[in-house]
Structure 1
């Protein structure tokens, strides 16, 4: 009888330990269902303030939204700035990048909190590729325009303020476009020619927005990127490179679609 009682106790204890272990394992799994964390990454020559129209929509719809203000000094620095913000997220996150920001999220997106990527008129190179070389293969209107891209003596680039409104922001109010032309963040030329060491789109779902009248990145290159990545692709006809500012409702809708379906 004593042996039987001991055996019964061992079985009961084992069952409790198994249940506890299973519960802990379940707790350790990432949350399923809609994602509530969104991180927005800006591109070259601008800062994060341009995301405000999209930010306002996402916040109104109940999302926790954070912007990255990367320094634009090197791809490594910009990826590090993005990873710091991702470290602060409290769970599954959708990572969104505009323009050169697409290269940043491609590398930073391997972060474990990231469950989906959204490319907004953005580059999406693979490992070993850089957007500068890919852009030469499918050149944009701006790249073929003499004097549109200027460079400082210490290796930083900017758009000629006279060309900025029509090249970068043709569908924004002219007063706003001119202000942005004179509020540019000078961007290290080397960010465009640094090969990527990781490509999150190869292992995580992605969404892509083609700006139909983009002059900074050739829309055909955007289509090619997204087709290669098997991204859920949305084309916004007539949109400029500033599509995230000029068409915030459509851009926010794509981001929310990613948040709702990335973990399905």
Structure 2
């Protein structure tokens, strides 16, 4: 009888240890929550346009940081993004608007980046440049960039609102127009050497009234990178005019990675 009791006790102990090991294994496999978001602006703009998205996400408990790209070269912009990523304390959603999509494509291989969100954005492949993405579907005709003698470009003043910010007020569009950050035009010819979307889950916002990047190109790009896509009625600057909807996509990306 004592021998039977000993066998039962031994079996119970083994089962208990196995249960604890199983629980520990499950806990280790459970993904960490994504609470960091890094926002990357595109050409002819700065990070201030993200203010509405910033307010939405911080109000939901996210730690949000905004990159200020110098727009002097792709390497400089990727470097600016990498410096911000280095300051994050855990898994991060990396978000890029327009040309900022090229930046996050190159910078997003950083191990802290858990997922990518492309907002009216480009997403080149390895060996492809920003400009080459317009080969089959060019930019709409009203989106006119005027290159200056020093090689930097501005969006045409007369066509700025209709092409870049069609759903903003006249006052908002005028401010964006007159606060443009010039882009080194050589950036359009610089090829990326890494494509983070090949190994990181991606989401895409397609602005249905975009007059800077044809929505057909945005849809084609989203399909090529296998992104979960959300269409939003708005201009090229939906992150400015529809901050809640854009924040919703970023929120879903973070929650999706968690689950």
TM-score range, shorter chain: 0.7 to 0.9
Q: 2:250 aligns with which of 239, 246, 255?
A: 255
**2:165 is the alignment partner of 1:166:** no
Q: Report the Cα distance in structure 2 between the residues aligned to 1:262 and 1:228, rounded to whole angstroms.
A: 20
What pairs up with 1:100-179 in 2 under 5 angstroms?
A: 100-141=99-140, 144-145=141-142, 148-179=144-175
* 2:53 aligned partner: 54
2:215 is matched with 219
Displacement after TM superposition at 1:30 (Å): 9.2
Runs of 4+ in 1 over 3 A off after TM superposition: none
Aligned counterpart for 1:188 among listed residues 167, 184, 196 = 184
Cα offsets for 1:184-240 (capped at 9, x unmatched): 000000111111100000001000000001011111111111101110000113x10
Q: Structure 2: how far apart are the matches of 1:219 and 1:76?
A: 27
Using the TM superposition, give the Cα deviation of residue 137 of structure 1 relative to its aligned residue in structure 2, in angstroms: 1.6
Normalising by the residue count of structure 1, what TM-score does the alignment of the two structures yield? 0.86
Q: SS where residue 135 of structure 2 aligns?
A: helix
Q: CA deviation at 1:135?
A: 1.0
Q: Check the 8 A contact 2:211/2:236 in 1, yes or no.
A: yes
Give the TM-score normalised by structure 2. 0.87
Deviation at 1:145, TM superposition (A): 3.9
SS at match of 1:235: strand
Gap regions ≥5 residues in structure 1 = 1-22
SS at match of 2:179: coil
In the alignment, structure 2 segments of 5+ residues that lack a partner are: 1-23
Partner of 1:43: 42
* Contact 1:31/1:91 (8 A) holds in 2: no
- State the alpha-carbon separation in 2 of the partners of residues 215 and 132 from structure 1: 16
2:193 to 184, 194, 197: 197
Question: What secondary structure does 1:106 align onto?
Answer: helix
Find the partner of 1:229 among 225, 232, 240: 225
Q: CA offsets, 1:144-177, max 9 Å, x none?
A: 348x210111100110121111110010111010
Deviations 1:8-51 (A, max 9, x none): xxxxxxxxxxxxxxx9x999x79724310000000000000000
Check the 8 A contact 1:95/1:117 in 2, yes or no. yes
Distance 1:31 1:68 in 2: 30
CA distance in 1, matches of 2:249, 2:187: 27
Q: Is the 8 A contact 1:168 1:216 kept in 2?
A: yes
Give 2:240's match in structure 1, choosing from 236, 245, 249.
245
Contact residue 142 and residue 211 of structure 2 kept, 8 A: no
- The alignment yields a C-alpha RMSD, in angstroms, of 1.9
Instruction: Give the secondary-structure state (helix, strand or coil) at the position aligned to 2:64.
Output: strand
Aligned CA distance change for structure 1 residues 30 and 86 (closer, same or farther; 3 Å): farther
CA distance in 1, matches of 2:30, 2:49: 31
